[in-house]
Amino acid sequence: MKLLIRSVLVLLAALSLASLCFGADASLLKPPPGAKVAVVMFEDLECPDCARSYPIVWEAAKAHKVPVVLHDFPLPKHNWSFDAAVYARYFDTRSQQTGNDFRAFMYQNQPNVTRDNLRQFVQKFADDNKVPLPFNIDPEGKLKAKVQADYDLGQRINLEHTPTIFVIGEGASSTPFVEVVDRDKLSQYIENMQKQAGAATPATVKRTAAKVHKKPS
């Protein structure tokens, strides 16, 4: 009996610790400064479902005047998604809009992209948008580090797939975030979170360390 009680106590302690860890992880997902509600998307540019979800996320965010926060989560099984994410970060340095347009471009061309021809597609986008493309876009590894940091964040909050989409609210005490499994309900989740958070938020807020994005053109 004592052994059974001890086992139960150990299990309860483990569950309690897991709950605390999850809460700490969830606190990492917050709207950017100036917003009460945001849509967060962890994406992989080689993921077909991400390509389908990308425009849905932007349309819903635009309709409800909330910002979109993108995070990189290139899956190890995909052989060019990490490099593509680094290129996206490079175009972000030119302008936020250019980076988002590049992501949309990659999703549109995704079926034809391979690891061998990735640079050709990147070069075409750069040429079409009159953006210089150095041979080495990341000589100090800073862009790669940002992609890796996003991936590590995803692991800390136990992501298992892409896309993973959250609607998050600042001050929404009852439900601070919700994962969007059924994308047909994305607008409903945003509306519910806005009610909990107290008000609708502007579509565009000041960009900070988080990647707050405008809709691709």
Cα 42 from Cα 24, distance rounded (Å): 18
pLDDT attached to residue 83: 99
Q: Which residues contact 64 (CB under 8 A, 6 or more apart)?
A: 37, 187, 190, 191, 194, 200
Task: Express each pLDDT in 71-119 by its tens digit.
Answer: 999 999 999 999 999 999 999 999 999 999 999 999 999 999 999 999 9
Select 28-213's CATH number: 3.40.50.300, 3.40.30.10, 3.30.413.10, 3.40.50.11930.
Answer: 3.40.30.10
pLDDT attached to residue 206: 32
All structural domains of the chain with their residue ranges: 28-213
User: What rounded mean pLDDT belongs to the chain?
Assistant: 84
pLDDT attached to residue 214: 59
pTM of model > 0.75:
yes
Task: Name the pLDDT band for 9 (thresholds 50, 70, 90).
Answer: very low
Cα 117 from Cα 214, distance rounded (Å): 28
Cα 80 from Cα 37, distance rounded (Å): 32
**DSSP string computed for 45-104:** TT-HHHHHHHHHHHHHHHHHT--EEEEE---TT-SSHHHHHHHHHHHHHH-HHHHHHHHH
pLDDT attached to residue 17: 35
Q: Give the bridge partners for 167, in sequence order.
A: 39, 178
